Amino acid sequence: MPTPLTHDDPVALGPYRLIARLGSGGMGTVYVARSAGGRTVALKTMHAGIAADPAARVRFRLEVDAARVIGDRFGARVMDADPLAETPWLATEYVLGPALDEAVEAGGPLPEQSVRALGAGLCSALGQLHRSDVVHRDLKPSNILVTAYGPKVIDFGIARAIGDDRLTRAGAAVGTPAFMSPEQATGQEHDAAGDVFALAGVLVYAATGHGPFGSGQAADLLYRVRYAEADLGGVPAALVPLLARCLAKEPGERPTTAQLASRLHDGVGEFADHLPDWLLADIARRAADVWRVVPQRLPAPAVEAGPSEVTAPPARRGRSRRGFLAGAGAVAVTAAVGGGIWSYRRRDTTPPAKEPRQTRNIAPLWQYGGRGSLEMDWWGLIRPYRANGSIWLPMNATVKRLDPSDGRSRQLLFEGNWWQAAAVNDRLYLLGQDFDGQGRSMAIVTWDEEQSYARRTSTRLADAAYVIKPNQLLCISDDVVYVAAGYGKEAEDYGFLPSQTWTLRAADLKTGKTLWTKPLPKRPARSHRLHFLAAKVVGGRLVTLQEVADKKVHLVVRDTGSGSVLWDTPYDVEDIDSLRSEIAADGSRVYVGGDRLRALRLSDGSQVWATESGRRYSPPTLKKGVLYTVGKGVGLTAVDPERGTRLWTEATTEAEEAYTGWQPVIGNRYAYYKNGFQLRAVSLTAHDIALTYQTDAVQFHADTRSGLVLGVDDDFLSAYPLT
């Protein structure tokens, strides 16, 4: 796990700022580091003394080459490297998973299915190397990282081309004794068969917690590797014959990686499906923890100040001149030492110099929640609402009220669901029970701040059953509320029933009258997909993203006066829940993302403009006459909404992980969107990355009154400054 930097570790190497240490050995040190754009990497360096050896530098360059050969599927992706620097360094992706030895030490031996899947993955990794005529030569548990997507092989410090012995002294054994092949133990040629031998040793360790030749002194291990039979005690019986063949003393008797892979695993299922729960939990924890690493540096060791006390000789009556001078000298020495002690203490007690403002990997202002607390069963992540000076979280049995300044819960109030709420003019409205309707009607309720209770308005919806869970409050505009209401029997699983009748209605909040009612399609039993993902009133039109069937979305625009459908067009996106973002529309056009960024006429749905296909775009955000979207591989982009021309694109080379599953949040100075595990704040004037924040959130909402970006994931509501 990461540890603080030492006082003499460099501040940065290349474009990467060092954050923490991952480990240090005889060859060099590995750091956690971050780029200016917030990308976290593992940065490996070589000790200065070793870097002075030209042969060591050649090895380092070969390690970089080998890491590039194996690629990011089976290894850690190489982000950058400088083997010629004064301190040679290699930056790779930060792999989110433990080393195999750490995993086994923490949780014990892996079950057989995990060992088989692990072995098959490692066969593929080694096969990639061997096809490029490269052998690893140091495969061992600490050089294998276990991720949810498969094992990754790292540390190619002694890898080399097959048949190339220019950097190996004749007769020298190079590698780790416990996992060496017999030929490697005698300093002979180590080819692909030698890697297979080491792989078998790794699998024995994974299955039992110990290597096939035990432990002890290097000389003892090398002897056992060459002459003793492997200890396969504890290995699952079905694996013993296969691993014994891999551990044959003669290289020609061992299977190839392809043959071994076919015997280990049939390739069915995802790698994560074969891992034990405790290991998956550890992987998830590490994935979250890495973004919470805060830069720390240990202070330099205190310099000893010398003798702490100097004593003058006893005073005598009638001192001689010599005695006076000696005494004066003693006083002077004491004063000097005393001054030194005072100065040292002064440095300790004086407040440290103000550190530069942190601009990367900043922690949230506050978080509220707990494990799984914000995932509302089948209905998706909760949506926060800003009203009455608070942040409201409708969470079914209760509606929780949070203080925007610190996230503390003020009260636990009445019941309500996030899809049955709306906030307008700093007031909270919800669908509520009409106690006079005998279960045949619903009411619109609002929070009365003076009386501290949910007060019913005059608006009641007849032939609507409050107990039906998927009832929706779509939006409120100009004192008109739009509701999807169900009538009939409540489903046992709280979802839909084919016997239920569904309607879309508009009702006047002032008069309480229903203005119009339109039928909605029926839903099959056991469906838990709401009728609408989002809705907005603009230009006399009710613009909706409607699931006309499960996972089938249409953009449906209705006349607000009559409820009649003016136009209806399919809307195909990869992530349907991304459409819960606020709809981007003005009095003339509706703007949508997906495989292209498009503008459709509000009047008839005809296309005004569209970008070229081939790039995925997030749902867009319209702010002050500019359309903002996140493009896969390019990051934040600003577009002229009238013509569809690009105004500017974020200045970054790190947009591979740009998140298109939610619209960007736009402030006055910055635009916010998720990239990897960071929330980026991009300057609206300089167009570069101004700030990055730690985040696990996947949906983001603007609370302009509180000046907050509210990020939501399964576990937490996280608050960030909205500037």
Q: Are 51 and 33 in contact (CB under 8 A)?
A: no
Measured CA to CA, the distance from residue 121 to residue 152 in angstroms comes to 8
Lowest-confidence region among 23-37, 61-75, 498-512: 61-75
Domains of the chain by start residue, with CATH: 1-94 (3.30.200.20), 96-287 (1.10.510.10)
Confidence (pLDDT) at 568:
97
Q: Considering only CA atoms, which of 623, 370, 447 is closest in space to residue 382?
A: 370
Mean local confidence (pLDDT), 265-279: 89
Q: Are 696 and 682 in contact (CB under 8 A)?
A: no
596-645 pLDDT, tens digit each: 999 999 999 999 999 998 899 999 999 999 999 999 999 999 999 999 99
Taking the CA atoms of 435, 441, 447 and 450 in sequence, report the sign of the dihedral they define: negative
Q: Label residue 38 by pLDDT band (50, 70, 90).
A: confident
Six-digit token string for 627: 């359309």
Instruction: From residue 367, give the alpha-carbon distance in Å to each of 7, 281, 722.
Output: 32, 21, 15
Q: Is the pLDDT at 315 greater than 80, yes or no?
A: no
Confidence (pLDDT) at 369:
87
Helix locations, 87-180, DSSP H: 100-107, 112-131
Q: Is the pLDDT at 389 greater than 80, yes or no?
A: yes
Query: What pTM did the predictor assign?
Result: 0.58
Q: Is the pLDDT at 172 greater than 80, yes or no?
A: no
Measured CA to CA, the distance from residue 465 to residue 488 in angstroms comes to 7
DSSP helix/strand/coil, 388: coil
Q: Are 188 and 250 in contact (CB under 8 A)?
A: no
**How many residues are there in the chain?**
723
Measured CA to CA, the distance from residue 392 to residue 421 in angstroms comes to 10
Q: Is the pLDDT at 342 greater than 80, yes or no?
A: no
What average pLDDT does the chain have? 85
Mean local confidence (pLDDT), 572-601: 94
Count of Cβ atoms closer than 10 Å to residue 26 Cβ = 6
Confidence (pLDDT) at 675:
93
Q: Label residue 302 by pLDDT band (50, 70, 90).
A: low
| Catalytic residue IDs | 138
How are strands ordered across the β-sheet holding 480-487? 472-477, 480-487, 501-508, 514-519
Confidence (pLDDT) at 513:
96
66-120 pLDDT, tens digit each: 778 777 788 888 888 888 888 899 999 888 889 999 999 999 999 999 999 999 9
3-state SS string for 261-307: HHHHCCCCCCHHHHCCHHHHHHHHHHHHHHHHCCCCECCCCCCCCCC
**Cα maximum dimension of the chain:** 118
Q: Is the pLDDT at 524 greater than 80, yes or no?
A: yes
Q: Considering only CA atoms, which of 406, 278, 386, 473 is closest in space to residue 704?
A: 386
Mean local confidence (pLDDT), 508-533: 94
174-187 pLDDT, tens digit each: 567 888 889 888 87
440-471 pLDDT, tens digit each: 899 999 988 887 778 899 999 999 999 999 99
Query: If you search the block for the tokens 């509701």, which residue do you land on?
Result: 483
Confidence (pLDDT) at 388:
92
pLDDT higher at 34 or 2: 34
Q: Is the pLDDT at 350 greater than 50, yes or no?
A: no
Top mean-pLDDT range of 314-318, 336-340, 640-644: 640-644
pLDDT higher at 6 or 482: 482
Q: Is the pLDDT at 173 greater than 60, yes or no?
A: no
Q: CB neighbours of 91 closer than 8 A, spacing ≥ 6?
A: 14, 16, 33, 41, 42, 43, 44, 78, 79, 80, 81
Confidence (pLDDT) at 414:
67
* Percent share of the chain, pLDDT over 90: 56
Instruction: From residue 684, give the alpha-carbon distance in Å to each of 312, 493, 628, 648, 689.
Output: 70, 47, 11, 10, 10
211, exposed or middle or buried, with CB in 10 Å at 0-12, 13-18, 19+?
buried
∠ CA 65-71-77 to the nearest 5 degrees? 90
Instruction: Give DSSP secondary structure letters for 529-574.
Output: --SEEEEEEETTEEEEEEEEETTEEEEEEEETTT--EEEEEE---S
Measured CA to CA, the distance from residue 87 to residue 14 in angstroms comes to 10
* Percent share of the chain, pLDDT over 70: 88
Q: CB neighbours of 701 closer than 8 A, spacing ≥ 6?
A: 383, 384, 665, 709, 710, 712
Q: Are 679 and 665 in contact (CB under 8 A)?
A: no
Confidence (pLDDT) at 321:
33
Lowest-confidence region among 375-379, 406-410, 593-597, 700-704: 375-379
Confidence (pLDDT) at 316:
36
Measured CA to CA, the distance from residue 598 to residue 609 in angstroms comes to 6
